[in-house]
């Protein structure tokens, strides 16, 4: 009864015209960046972060969240029609979605992807409503030692489950943690790592950093890419799946919803891992596994449902614990903090109307996406034909304007350019940029929780091991580090044994 009354109050807040406009703009931009290969939700959220900061806290978070789950919808369009994933979570959709398109069944593939995404996103919101409040109440008993342990295991899991090298990810994350320490120390009042530069006395601003790291660097990477976009030659018609398609997709959609939701709860799990595991599961339990990769609709329905279900789940640790589970959640955390809203155990209790309005906006956004993705497929196909040389000047312009408008400082533009070049070099050297942003956002939280624990314990590190939650977190962290170490040794050993020239 409590949830029912609160969600009604949330809908009353979000149906105000300006809130609906921001929601629509968010899901529209999310769909667009999902359709356009090479941009991605992280870069787009970074570009539009200044706009979110100008708006009210509710309007800003509604728009940024809409971009995130909207990109999951749009990513399937390019995977199915062009065989190029619009973003990473739609990689596996290429396998069977494009095969269906080549068989003249692009319509049912797109239709099932949209419907599965809607069902997965909606069911994950039900889980968000049921779990966020109890989790926040449990977290009220957490102290700084517990938070430090959870932050450690969260960051390590993100690095462990990412597709790149763990050692490289850890190196970049540590750099991010150090960058978060730049500026005036709130405890001692001393300036750290500023090197006499006045613009650094207040620390680096998150907006120009993420704009450069994900926006400008993506432009530089795409300018050097030689990939050409060629749309599928078949016409897109009959978007509604037939009865046989529904029979084959019903259980994959349900399994994808459950799987994606629980993987989304894990730091670092996210949309990519959930879609890959869903595809592997469906192929494993299928009576006709030989059809996968040749146009099996289950290979579209399951992964597309799973990646959208994981989006709603990723908001639970953010709102309930104040801990971001991926880089997008880290940017949303930074946006809320700038607005003076701090996610954590007290967040829902102190901001009930705000929280339930966000949940209500996601319901409305999912309906908007279903309407956008089915009838407007023809428009998305035409957008795919826009040459990138016409797009990148506008993207760069938005980057520069966005970096400048937050504080009206030229130094922020220089910061964005610097991090854009740095992000480009990271990608060229096969390093991920996401750990840097996560480390930067989490750095102050790491330091604060550690200092508070040391103050409570009188400087004793053993205090961490006296707290059950912190002890479990540190144990899991040790397991992750040890398993990574032995996996690295195993790979080196296999390379040595496979090399016939090795002595």
User: Is the pLDDT higher at 195 or at 187?
Assistant: 195
Which tens digits make up the pLDDT trace of 23-39?
999 988 888 877 776 56
Question: Which uninterrupted H or E stretch holds 191?
Answer: strand 191-192
What b/e sequence results for 218-252 when a residue is b if at least 16 CB atoms lie within 10 Å of its CB, and e otherwise?
A: bbbebeeeeeebebbeeebeebebeeebeebbeeb
CA separation for the pair 478, 116 (Å, rounded): 38
Q: Does the pLDDT value for residue 501 go beyond 60? A: no
Q: Please report which residue ranges of 36-143 form alpha helices under DSSP H.
A: 40-54, 57-81, 93-102, 106-139
Which tens digits make up the pLDDT trace of 311-337?
888 888 888 878 787 778 888 888 888
Segment 298-310 mean pLDDT: 87
What b/e sequence results for 427-450 when a residue is b if at least 16 CB atoms lie within 10 Å of its CB, and e otherwise?
A: beeebbbbbbbbbbbbbbbbbebb
Give the Cα-Cα-Cα angle 313, 316, 319 (nearest 5 degrees). 145
Q: Please report which residue ranges of 140-180 form alpha helices under DSSP H.
A: 144-161, 166-179
Cβ-count burial of 126 within 10 angstroms (0-12 exposed, 13-18 middle, 19+ buried)? middle
| CB-CB contact of 47 with 394 (8 Å) | no
CA separation for the pair 125, 103 (Å, rounded): 35
Q: Does the pLDDT value for residue 503 go beyond 50? A: no
Segment 82-88 mean pLDDT: 65
Q: Does the pLDDT value for residue 1 go beyond 60? A: no
pLDDT at 231: 47
Give the Cα-Cα-Cα angle 202, 45, 369 (nearest 5 degrees). 155
Which tens digits make up the pLDDT trace of 60-70?
889 988 888 88
Q: Does the pLDDT value for residue 220 go beyond 80? A: yes
Enumerate the β-bridge partners of residue 502. Answer: none
User: Is the pLDDT higher at 357 or at 42?
Assistant: 357
How is residue 127 written in tokens? 């889980």
User: Is the pLDDT higher at 367 or at 1?
Assistant: 367
pTM value? Answer: 0.74
Residue 18 confidence class, pLDDT cut points 50, 70, 90: very high
Which tens digits make up the pLDDT trace of 231-254?
445 456 677 788 888 888 889 999
CA separation for the pair 258, 269 (Å, rounded): 14
Q: Looking at residue 234, what DSSP letter applies?
A: S
* Residues 6 or more apart whose Cβ sits within 8 Å of residue 413: 208, 400, 403, 404
Q: Does the pLDDT value for residue 125 go beyond 70? A: yes
CA separation for the pair 9, 5 (Å, rounded): 6
Question: Which uninterrupted H or E stretch holds 184?
Answer: strand 183-184
Which tens digits make up the pLDDT trace of 102-115?
888 888 888 888 88
Give the number of other CB atoms < 10 A from CB of residue 192. Answer: 14
For residue 274, give the nearest of 98, 92, 32 by alpha carbon.
Answer: 92
pLDDT at 290: 81
For residue 72, give the nearest of 370, 382, 388 by alpha carbon.
Answer: 370
Residue 412 confidence class, pLDDT cut points 50, 70, 90: confident
* Residues 6 or more apart whose Cβ sits within 8 Å of residue 375: none
User: Is the pLDDT higher at 393 or at 407?
Assistant: 393
Which tens digits make up the pLDDT trace of 264-283?
877 655 677 788 788 888 88
Residue 411 confidence class, pLDDT cut points 50, 70, 90: confident
CA separation for the pair 2, 355 (Å, rounded): 14
Segment 212-226 mean pLDDT: 76
pLDDT at 226: 61
Residue 87 confidence class, pLDDT cut points 50, 70, 90: low
CA separation for the pair 451, 461 (Å, rounded): 11
């Amino acid at each position: 009864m409590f949830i029912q009354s609160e969600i009604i109050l949330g809908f009353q807040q979000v149906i105000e015209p300006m809130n609906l406009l921001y929601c629509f703009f968010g899901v529209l931009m999310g769909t667009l960046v999902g359709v356009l290969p090479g941009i991605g939700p992280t870069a787009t959220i970074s570009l539009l972060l200044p706009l979110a900061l100008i708006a009210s806290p509710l309007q800003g978070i509604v728009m940024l969240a809409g971009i995130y789950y909207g990109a999951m919808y749009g990513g399937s369009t390019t995977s199915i029609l062009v065989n190029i994933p619009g973003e990473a979570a739609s990689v596996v959709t290429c396998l069977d979605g494009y095969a269906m398109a080549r068989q003249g069944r692009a319509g049912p593939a797109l239709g099932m992807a949209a419907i599965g995404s809607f069902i997965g996103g909606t069911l994950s919101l039900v889980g968000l409503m049921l779990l966020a409040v109890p989790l926040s109440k449990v977290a009220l008993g957490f102290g700084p030692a517990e938070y430090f342990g959870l932050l450690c295991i969260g960051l390590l899991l993100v690095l462990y489950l990412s597709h790149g090298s763990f050692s490289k990810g850890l190196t970049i994350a540590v750099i991010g943690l150090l960058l978060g320490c730049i500026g005036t120390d709130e405890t001692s009042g001393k300036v750290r790592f500023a090197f006499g530069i006045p613009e650094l006395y207040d620390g680096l601003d998150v907006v120009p950093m993420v704009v450069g790291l994900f926006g400008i660097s993506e432009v530089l990477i795409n300018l050097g890419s030689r990939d050409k976009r060629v749309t599928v030659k078949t016409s897109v018609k009959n978007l509604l799946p037939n009865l046989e398609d529904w029979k084959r997709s019903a259980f994959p959609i349900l399994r994808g919803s459950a799987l994606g939701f629980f993987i989304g709860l894990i730091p670092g799990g996210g949309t990519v891992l959930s879609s890959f595991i869903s595809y592997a599961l469906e192929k494993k339990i299928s009576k006709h596994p030989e059809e996968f990769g040749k146009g099996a609709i289950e290979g579209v329905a399951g992964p597309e449902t799973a990646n959208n279900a994981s989006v709603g789940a990723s908001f639970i640790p953010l709102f309930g614990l104040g801990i971001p589970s991926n880089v997008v959640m880290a940017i949303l955390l930074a946006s809320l903090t700038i607005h003076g809203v701090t996610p954590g155990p007290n967040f829902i209790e102190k901001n009930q109307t705000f929280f339930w309005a966000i949940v209500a906006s996601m319901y409305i956004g999912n309906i908007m996406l279903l309407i956008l993705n089915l009838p407007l497929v023809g428009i998305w196909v035409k957008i795919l034909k826009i040459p990138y040389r016409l797009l990148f000047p506008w993207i760069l312009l938005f980057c520069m304007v966005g970096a400048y408008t937050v504080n009206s400082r030229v130094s922020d533009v220089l910061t964005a350019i610097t991090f854009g070049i740095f992000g480009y070099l990271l990608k060229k050297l096969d390093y991920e940029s996401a750990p840097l942003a996560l480390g930067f956002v989490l750095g102050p939280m790491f330091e604060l929780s550690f200092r508070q624990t040391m103050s409570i314990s009188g400087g004793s590190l053993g205090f961490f091991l006296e707290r059950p939650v912190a002890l479990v977190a540190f144990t899991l962290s040790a397991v992750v580090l040890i398993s990574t170490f032995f996996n690295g040794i195993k790979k080196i050993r296999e390379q040595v044994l496979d090399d016939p020239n090795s002595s």
